[in-house]
Amino acid sequence: MVKNIIQREMSHFFALSKKAQRLLISYFFYGLANPLVFTFINAYIFRQRVNILNFIIYYFGFFVGIPLMFYINGLLLAKRIKIVILYFLGTILMGISPLIVVFYPHINFFHYFILGFIAGLGTGFHWANRSYFNQKETQSHNRGYFLSLNFSSDTITSVIISFLAGWLIVLGFRYQALMIIGFLFLLICGSLMIGVPYETPKIKKFIINIISPEWWGVRFIQFGNGLVEGITFFFIALLILSKLGNEGALGTLSALMSLISAAGIYIYGRKVRVHHQLPTYLYTVIVGVILSLFLALFFNKLGVTVYVLLDGVVLSFLWLTVGPITMNVIDRQTIQEKGGKYVYIVDAETFLNIGRILSLTICLLLTLFFNQNMALRFSPILLNFLLLVMLLFSFKKLKSWEF
Q: For residue 227, what is the domain's CATH number?
A: 1.20.1250.20
Q: Which tens digit of pLDDT belongs to each residue from 67-85? A: 999 999 999 988 888 999 9
Q: How far is CA 55 from CA 80, 109, 154, 297, 302, in A?
A: 37, 10, 24, 24, 24
Least confident of 147-151, 192-196, 361-365: 147-151
**What per-residue string of b and e applies to 37-64 under the rule 16 or more CB within 10 Å gives b?**
bbbbbbbbbbeeeeebbbbbbbbbbbbb
Tell me: pLDDT of 5 over 60. no
pLDDT value, residue 394: 80
- Quick one: pLDDT band at residue 392, thresholds 50, 70, 90? confident
- Quick one: pLDDT band at residue 264, thresholds 50, 70, 90? low
The arithmetic mean of pLDDT across residues 197-202, rounded, is 81
Between CA 350 and CA 66 the distance in angstroms is 8
Q: Is 311 within the bounds of a domain?
A: yes
Tell me: pLDDT of 363 over 90. yes
Q: Is 7 within the bounds of a domain?
A: no
Q: Is 5 within the bounds of a domain?
A: no
The arithmetic mean of pLDDT across residues 351-372, rounded, is 94
Q: Which tens digit of pLDDT belongs to each residue from 124-161? A: 999 999 988 988 888 777 777 787 788 778 877 877 88
Q: 133 Cβ partners below 8 Å, 6+ apart?
A: 19, 23, 83, 87, 198
Structurally, the chain folds into a number of domains equal to 1
pLDDT value, residue 403: 55
Q: Which tens digit of pLDDT belongs to each residue from 89-98? A: 999 999 998 9
The arithmetic mean of pLDDT across residues 343-372, rounded, is 94
Q: Which of 24, 33, 21, 126 is nearest to 84 (CA)?
A: 126
pLDDT value, residue 123: 93
Tell me: pLDDT of 1 over 70. no
Q: Is 274 within the bounds of a domain?
A: yes
Q: 369 Cβ partners below 8 Å, 6+ apart?
A: none
Find the angle CA(317)-CA(315)-CA(303) to the nearest 5 degrees: 120
Tell me: pLDDT of 171 over 80. yes
Between CA 371 and CA 69 the distance in angstroms is 34
pLDDT value, residue 321: 82
Q: What is the DSSP letter of 286?
A: H
- Quick one: pLDDT band at residue 105, thresholds 50, 70, 90? low
Residue 158 · residue 31 · CB < 8 Å? yes
Q: Is 10 within the bounds of a domain?
A: no
Give the structural domain span for 194.
18-400
- pTM (global) more than 0.85: yes
Length of the chain: 403
Q: Which tens digit of pLDDT belongs to each residue from 303-322? A: 888 898 888 888 888 887 88
Q: Is 1 within the bounds of a domain?
A: no
Between CA 361 and CA 369 the distance in angstroms is 12
Q: Is 2 within the bounds of a domain?
A: no
Q: Which of 137, 135, 136, 146 is nearest to 12 (CA)?
A: 146
364, amino acid identity: L
The arithmetic mean of pLDDT across residues 345-351, rounded, is 93
Tell me: pLDDT of 339 over 60. no
User: Cβ atoms within 10 A of the Cβ of 114, count?
Assistant: 17
Between CA 20 and CA 141 the distance in angstroms is 14
The arithmetic mean of pLDDT across residues 18-43, rounded, is 89
pLDDT value, residue 16: 75
Round the average pLDDT of the chain to a whole number and report it. Answer: 84
Between CA 159 and CA 308 the distance in angstroms is 14
Q: How many CA atoms lie within 13 A of 188 on its CB side?
A: 15
Tell me: pLDDT of 352 over 60. yes
Q: What is the DSSP letter of 275?
A: G
Q: Is 53 within the bounds of a domain?
A: yes
pLDDT value, residue 206: 76
Of the chain, the percentage scoring pLDDT greater than 70 comes to 86
Tell me: pLDDT of 266 over 60. yes
Between CA 284 and CA 275 the distance in angstroms is 15
Q: Which of 69, 105, 368, 367 is nearest to 235 (CA)?
A: 367
pLDDT value, residue 260: 67
Pick from 203-207, 305-309, 313-317, 371-375 the range whose average pLDDT is largest: 371-375
Least confident of 99-103, 113-117, 276-280, 399-403: 399-403
pLDDT value, residue 393: 82
* Phi, psi angle pair for 345, to nearest 5°: -60, -45
Residue 169 · residue 275 · CB < 8 Å? no
Q: 140 Cβ partners below 8 Å, 6+ apart?
A: 274, 324, 327, 328, 331
Tell me: pLDDT of 299 over 80. yes
pLDDT value, residue 2: 45
